[in-house]
Chains A and B, each alone.
Chain A
Amino acid sequence: MSKFRSVKDIPDDEYVAPGSSLCAGCGSEIIARHMLKVLGKDTIFVNVPGCYAISTLFPFTAVKVPFVFAVFGSGAAVAQGIKDGLDILKEKRGINNERVNYKVVVYVGDGAAYDIGFQSTSAAIHRNLDFYFVCYDNEAYGNTGFQLSGATPYASRTSTSEPLGGSVGNVYRKKDIFEIWRAHRAPYIATISVSHITDMLNKFEKAKQFKGPKLFVALSICPTGWGASEEETVRIARLAVETGMWPLKEAVYGEVKHTFIPRRLKPVEEYLKTQRRFRHLFHPVRREEDIKKIQEEVESYWKRVWETELSK
């Protein structure tokens, strides 16, 4: 039975303060806010360079739990050190104040999760570190001006994959970080979206029961980089789910289950059209082949899901 059945059940406690300088309408703030509502005050928040670092610019911080800033690729390694350090204080030195029992969450962007911090994250999972790793995926290096990352989807414009001279924008496919993590056999892995708040809350809650790495990748709408209107953040995220572009799922010790299975997929272009980063797929001429390619990939994914999970 899920603990959170509707937004009415959202805990009142807030561990993020207003007044930070992130863009209006930024998805990463919505995710951080709800993540901490579930994880609670006894959490150490590890962050690295990326947009969310703007939450904590001296002398201000929006984060109301202990915050440790690490270098770009070292989020998971720092979590390891903190967790191990607190454990040994307990076990060896008999220190048992409340802080030594705090959880550790690493909250980083896709650049850190998919690319530069991938090695340290993989290793922390491999060592079965008891921590939360949450990637707010805005599908590019947002903080440095929206350059292409390993998480950038096919055809997206970024500032290093401009659709110039007939180019389609990003020519690479987005890395499937969920499957890469799953190959590590982590106890709990989930995808989440800012549009589906109760799904998100329940997944954070469910993760608490597992000892070991608990990994999340969140679709994090970035109005600035994506070229979308700020008020559309939630609608875009919902379209990503309803077109099948962003499946909501979880894997418990590798066993995958979708937490939302659309019976019929909305056409991907409904999603693509909400963002200027895909505008060149429709203007000045419609790039039918590329749109079809995206649509087909989504469909073949869901065909497999429908066959396996709906027949159960």
Chain B
Amino acid sequence: MYRFRFHGRGGQGIKTASRIFGTAAFLEGFYAQDFPMYGPERRGAPVAAYVRVSREPIVNRGYITHPDVVLVGDETLLFDPVADPLRGFSGGVLFVNTMTSPQIDISGELVTLDVTGLALEYIGRTSAISAGVGAIACKIAGFSKGTTMEAVERELEELGLSEELIDKNLRLAEESYRNVPSFDLDSLPSVRESDYIDTNVVHVKLDEGYVGVATIAKLGNTAVRRTGSWRILKPVVDLNKCTGCKICFAYCPDVSIYLGEDDKAYIDYDHCKGCLICSSVCPFKAITMVREVKTL
């Protein structure tokens, strides 16, 4: 059995990518099972999806804790403690969607491609990477181009996309497929027979008082979460143009703008999600946007 784990951000189509791969595996004659994990979290928050592919019937389900192949749709997730895409990865293939060549210390094969750039080129939207990532998974698994394209088409039709948009996606998928290598998964050292992992069960005791009552005592502690990694575009304040009018501050949904002592607007890049409302409301056009250069 091959276990593929997909990581991305809500709104990037990671679930669709995993389904493209699941359908392609089915079309290739494998037993397949795909399963997205989505919490109530929203666009931009880390999401994951799991696909099991096997020549034998699959008698397992749920999360994949020890993947053979990991596909990361957004490079900023690589070292994100919540997403933790490298968890349980011990050799195999790691794909990262990136425009740089990251130096990652892993055992296993590293494959990269700037799918975001391709998506912008073929579809016009940076977030439309699902067909690309789905096709890359197919190529890594050694599926034929024919089944890959058919799977892309089927899944996108299911989503109700227009023919024109499907065509664009097919071109993105083709280009992505072409640009990554194939692997003989059976020869990878990571491919074990099963997911079964050994753990120790502890004795759970009563916590008296109200420790065991479901509450949070540190109010406002989301501040430790760095939603800044959600950004695809980044607002930048031109301090020469900023008059300190506070309008951007008023409209920022994520409390990520503050006025400095010089009465100029400053952005808290640890948290700014990159909605760009600030840029659109600034009456002095003092906030511009630049494509986020993601550093690992």
Task: Judge: A and B partners, yes or no.
Answer: yes
Given A30-B251, A59-B216, A62-B220, decide whether A24 and B225 contact each other with a Cβ distance below 8 A.
no
| Contact of B260 with A by CB under 8 A | no
A54–B41 alpha-carbon span in the complex (Å): 7
- The dominant DSSP class at the B interface is loop
Task: Tell which of A14, A21, A194, A234 touches B255, judged by Cβ atoms closer than 8 Å.
Answer: A14
A233–B280 alpha-carbon span in the complex (Å): 9
Sorted nearest first, the 5 A-B pairs with minimum C-beta distance are: A25-B275, A19-B222, A18-B271, A17-B220, A24-B273
B280 A18 Cβ-Cβ under 8 A: no
Q: Which B residues fall within an 8 A CB radius of A?
A: 10-11, 39-45, 214, 216, 218-227, 230, 245-247, 249-256, 268, 270-271, 273-277, 279-281
Task: Tell which of A33, A60, A230 touches B221, judged by Cβ atoms closer than 8 Å.
Answer: A60
Known contacts A24-B274, A33-B253, A54-B40; 14 further A-B pairs (Cβ under 8 A): A7-B249, A7-B250, A8-B245, A10-B246, A10-B249, A21-B225, A22-B42, A24-B44, A51-B42, A57-B39, A61-B216, A223-B275, A234-B251, A234-B281
B253 A21 Cβ-Cβ under 8 A: no
Task: Tell which of B214, B219, B223, B275 touches A24, judged by Cβ atoms closer than 8 Å.
Answer: B275
Chain B residue, CB-CB nearest to A53 = B40
Q: How many A-B residue pairs have CB under 8 A?
A: 139
| Contact of A56 with B by CB under 8 A | yes
Contacts of A8 in B (CB 8 A): 245-246
Contacts of B270 in A (CB 8 A): 18
B245 A62 Cβ-Cβ under 8 A: no
A223–B43 alpha-carbon span in the complex (Å): 10
Chain A residue, CB-CB nearest to B254 = A18
A18 B227 Cβ-Cβ under 8 A: yes
Interface residues on A, range: 35 or more
A17–B274 alpha-carbon span in the complex (Å): 16
**Whole-angstrom distance between the Cβ of B15 and the nearest chain A Cβ:** 13
| Contact of A242 with B by CB under 8 A | no
Contacts of B40 in A (CB 8 A): 21, 53-54, 57, 143
- The dominant DSSP class at the A interface is mixed
**Whole-angstrom distance between the Cβ of B261 and the nearest chain A Cβ:** 13
Task: Tell which of B222, B253, B280, B281 touches A26, judged by Cβ atoms closer than 8 Å.
Answer: B253
Interface string of A196-233 (1 = CB under 8 A from B): 01000000000000000000000000011000001111
Contacts of B219 in A (CB 8 A): 17, 61, 63-67
A232 B224 Cβ-Cβ under 8 A: no
Contacts of A46 in B (CB 8 A): none
| Contact of A152 with B by CB under 8 A | no
Contacts of B230 in A (CB 8 A): 24
A59 B221 Cβ-Cβ under 8 A: yes
Q: Which of A12-43 contact B (CB under 8 A)?
A: 14, 16-27, 29-30, 33-34
Chain A residue, CB-CB nearest to B252 = A30
B251 A23 Cβ-Cβ under 8 A: no
A13–B43 alpha-carbon span in the complex (Å): 28
Contacts of B245 in A (CB 8 A): 7-8
Contacts of B10 in A (CB 8 A): 23
